[in-house]
Amino acid sequence: MQISLEVRNGILIAFGCFLWLLLENVLGLHSQYIDLQDLFSWLIILIPLSGIYFTLKYKRDKIQRGSISFIESLRTSSIITATVSITSPLFVWLYVSAVNPTYLLFKQENALKIIRDSQIDVNTLLLREDAIKKSFETFSYILSAFVFALAVCMTLSIVLSILIRKKPLNSLDKMADDANKSVN
């Protein structure tokens, strides 16, 4: 069974993000340094950025023979986005249920601490506390992982599709390029 380039790399990107979660856990960003976690967790964007970029570049240079249209690169990156959006929540569920079951509790307590330290009235405080408790339930967190993966990967897909597109060579240049490849 052969898995397509896009699906394979989408799974690898999601697995890379799971490894990032494990690294954050090992560094204590999910427990004792939870207040710093929001600062460093944005670096996770580098994983889908590099994964989508290198997949599009490989497809353009090796499969499409040096040219790729915006539509073709967007199609490729959309398949990667769909794969990442489907598999990332599974890895997040694995993390919050098996690897670090106390992670969401730490996140919730940190968010509640920040809200309590702010100077707001009691009614607003109670409303925000209730919203925070609901947002760090397992289902809500997994749903937010899906939405985050979809939004980030789709945005990266559009930007990278614009940047990586390359027009095909005209027919004479293409014949000369084919002749040079066959000689070498």
Our count of domains for the chain comes to 1
User: In which residue are the tokens 């919203």 written?
Assistant: 131
Q: Is 115 among the domain residues?
A: no
State how far the alpha carbon of 157 is from the alpha carbons of 79, 108, 131, 168, in Å.
Answer: 10, 32, 32, 21
Residue whose C-alpha is closest to residue 141's, from 26, 30, 2, 62: 30
Q: Is 174 among the domain residues?
A: no
176: left (phi over 0), alpha (psi -120 to 50) or beta: alpha
Global pTM reads: 0.82
How many CB atoms lie under 10 A from the CB of residue 82? 17
Q: Is 108 among the domain residues?
A: no
Structural domain of 156 = 5-98+144-168
Q: Go through 42-66 and write b for each residue having 16 or more CB atoms within 10 A of its CB, e for each that does not.
A: eebeebbbebbbebbeebbeeebee
Q: What pLDDT tens digit does each residue of the chain (184 aa) get?
A: 678 999 999 999 999 999 999 999 999 998 888 888 888 889 999 999 999 999 999 999 999 888 899 999 999 999 999 999 999 999 999 999 999 999 998 888 888 787 777 777 766 767 777 788 887 888 988 999 999 999 999 999 999 999 998 776 555 555 555 666 666 5
Residue whose C-alpha is closest to residue 133's, from 109, 152, 161: 109
> What confidence score (pLDDT) does residue 56 get?
95
> What confidence score (pLDDT) does residue 184 get?
56
Q: Is 133 among the domain residues?
A: no
Residue type, 35: D
